[in-house]
Structure 1
Amino acid sequence: MHATKTIAIVTLASAALAACATVDQTDPNAASTTPAEPVSEPVVEAPVATDPAFFVDWTQQAMDGRWFISEHNTPNGHWESDWRRRNVRALPNGLNIQMTSKSPGANEWPWSGGEIQTRRAHSYGEYQVIMRAAEGAGLIGGFFTHTGPYYGNPHDQIDVTFTGKDPYQVQFNALADSVDVGVMNYPLDFDVSKNFALYSFIWAPDRITWYVNGEFAHEVSNENVVIPQTPGKLFANLYQARNKGWAGQPDFLEGATATYRCMSYRPLEDTSSRTCADAYESYVTGG
């Protein structure tokens, strides 16, 4: 598939939906996910304004004030790892989120992963990431929007999720007020832990559409499910899951790493701001 086609598909999809919405947002500040990522609970920050379009080249940029890095234990819930800032590093090859072992204290796990989240919320629009998932069963990685009761909101979420036991698929899911729209296990012809790829979704008031490398992958609409409406923060993370049926029995190695090269967001009516699709050739195909 040619990179030009990739850019055209995603851009045209955005333009087709652009008439549907304007962007109004409030804020949250916390953790991971449900069926496709559970939710952890760091310190709550005061709500801040919503975020405009952004483009981040992680091979050229360190962490800045847009991002919050989780640092807390998860003794209860869906995790068998804690969150540590030291596992999140911006390096010349991109943003690296690692799983590392540690000597556990009280209410701690012997493993720690990493998680970043935007400080501001995002609403309808086009979300893109170019990344390579971590290798190894037992691990879950994600790129997703999230808000919930922890922020005084309904649990709304949109997921792109990688399960370590299934490296030839990506999971898509969404929740609207905690109601699951249904997990879609989308088969791939490449190993997500060995190849960089462009994953994206377009969130409109009446539908969510997911793409892989610019090609249509999955869509849900308000004709048969409830579409999330509440703005949420954008997350990326890596953790060991308690649900072994979902993630697999752990066989990952010390230092297993998910690498992110690009992240972007632009509101639904914005068809001109730069997106990760614009960097497809250099980041994915090597062109």
Structure 2
Amino acid sequence: MFDVVSLKHQLAGGNGSNNNNNNNNDDNNDDNNETVIGPNESATLFADFRKGSSSAFYASDGWSNGSCFDCVWRGSNAVFKDNALNLTIDKDTSGQYNYSGAEYRTNDFYGYGYYETSMKAIKNNGVVSSFFTYTGPSDNNPWDEIDIEILGKDTTKVQFNYYTNGVGNHEYFYDLGFDASEGFHTYGFDWQPDHITWYVDGEAVYTANSNIPSTAGRIMMNVWPGTGVDDWLNAYDGKTPLTAQYQWVTYDNK
């Protein structure tokens, strides 16, 4: 069973190493319109960012995550142009942080089903481009997370990972056979009670079947520079702006 943080059931409309806690999000926004899509509900989501923003999502703004993030989230770094959602790493002009990153997340929480995006990643040492589900203490839930992460140091590979009640160490690197920064490709995962299977361009490439997470989470994408994790990401050289692009996101639990 999924943990329920809201009793409303309205479907949202839509026009790597053991120190990798990159998506352990501290959300300072209290969203009173949150919905959990339960395991027995039929639900689909299609957010076509080629046509602009989606009411199912919002941009994180004004807070930062853990110590390995060398940035603050800025809503202004999530922009719709060139037929895509553009998430950008840039200098932070507030003087409080070295850099600003970008994150786009759903209002609602989604459980078992198939998740997919079409994206083009950033190629640069020290940065991450991601697509994932997350929930945790900031949602009054256990930390459950399923990750697709492309490390800018080597965009010919993708890292898969997941956390169940805060326990991770399930990293797996898959050799893509192409450069993820040079064009759009689809990345997805099928999350079921007894397994997670990850997909690249519609092909199943890896399956995990041990200690699978069970708590519904938000669908999220973010880009960020790391600090203190050079062994994982390589050192960030401070180059800005750096932009990843996302064409669309889909979810289906049928």
* TM-score, normalised with respect to structure 2: 0.86
Comparing 166-175 with 68-77, greater Cα deviation is found at 68-77
Q: What is the aligned partner in structure 2 of residue 177 from structure 1?
A: 165
Structure 1 gaps of 5+ residues are 1-22, 29-33, 271-287
Of 78, 92, 95 in structure 2, the residue corresponding to residue 102 of structure 1 is 92
Distance 1:92 1:38 in 2: 27
The structure with more strand, counted as a fraction of residues: 2
Amino acid aligned to 1:53 = T
List per-residue Cα deviations over 1:86-125 (Å, max 9, x = no partner). Answer: 11011132110011113343xx222101001101000000
Structure 1 contact 57–262 (Cα < 8 Å) conserved: yes
Distance 2:65 2:226 in 1: 12
List per-residue Cα deviations over 1:56-113 (Å, max 9, x = no partner). Answer: 22111x22331121112328522001110111011132110011113343xx222101
Amino acid aligned to 2:4 = T
Distance 2:242 2:67 in 1: 22
Distance 2:149 2:93 in 1: 28
Work out the number of aligned pairs and report it: 235
Amino acid aligned to 1:159 = D
Is 1:260 the counterpart of 2:246? The answer is: yes
Comparing 158-167 with 120-129, greater Cα deviation is found at 158-167
How many percent identity over aligned positions? 29
Q: What is the aligned partner in structure 2 of residue 247 from structure 1?
A: 233
List per-residue Cα deviations over 1:240-274 (Å, max 9, x = no partner). Answer: 1121221111136322110001110011xx2xxxx
Structure 2 contact 26–65 (Cα < 8 Å) conserved: no
Structure 1 contact 26–121 (Cα < 8 Å) conserved: no
Q: What is the aligned partner in structure 2 of residue 212 from structure 1?
A: 200
SS at match of 2:145: strand
What are the within-5 Å matches in structure 2 for residues 131-170 of structure 1? 131-170=119-158
Shift, 1:158, TM fit: 0.3
Q: What is the aligned partner in structure 1 of residue 68 from structure 2?
A: 78
Amino acid aligned to 1:266 = D
SS at match of 1:253: coil
Is 1:235 the counterpart of 2:225? The answer is: no
List per-residue Cα deviations over 1:146-195 (Å, max 9, x = no partner). Answer: 01122111110000001111111000011111111510011121111112
Q: What is the aligned partner in structure 1 of residue 100 from structure 2?
A: 112
| Aligned residues: CA RMSD | 2.0
Distance 1:41 1:103 in 2: 22
Greater radius of gyration (CA) = 1
Instruction: Mark the CA change 1:245 to 1:27 in structure 2 (over 3 Å): closer, same or farther.
Output: farther
Amino acid aligned to 1:26 = V
Of 4, 7, 22 in structure 2, the residue corresponding to residue 37 of structure 1 is 22
Distance 1:173 1:184 in 2: 6
Distance 1:87 1:252 in 2: 16
Distance 2:116 2:25 in 1: 23
Distance 2:32 2:123 in 1: 36
Structure 1 contact 123–230 (Cα < 8 Å) conserved: yes
Instruction: Mark the CA change 1:217 to 1:125 in structure 2 (over 3 Å): closer, same or farther.
Output: same
* TM-score, normalised with respect to structure 1: 0.77
Q: What is the aligned partner in structure 1 of residue 14 from structure 2?
A: none
Q: What is the aligned partner in structure 2 of residue 279 from structure 1?
A: none
Structure 2 contact 22–69 (Cα < 8 Å) conserved: no
Structure 2 gaps of 5+ residues are 7-18, 38-42
Q: What is the aligned partner in structure 2 of residue 26 from structure 1?
A: 4
Structure 1 contact 25–122 (Cα < 8 Å) conserved: no
Instruction: Mark the CA change 1:218 to 1:116 in structure 2 (over 3 Å): closer, same or farther.
Output: same
Instruction: Mark the CA change 1:38 to 1:262 in structure 2 (over 3 Å): closer, same or farther.
Output: closer
Structure 1 contact 36–173 (Cα < 8 Å) conserved: no
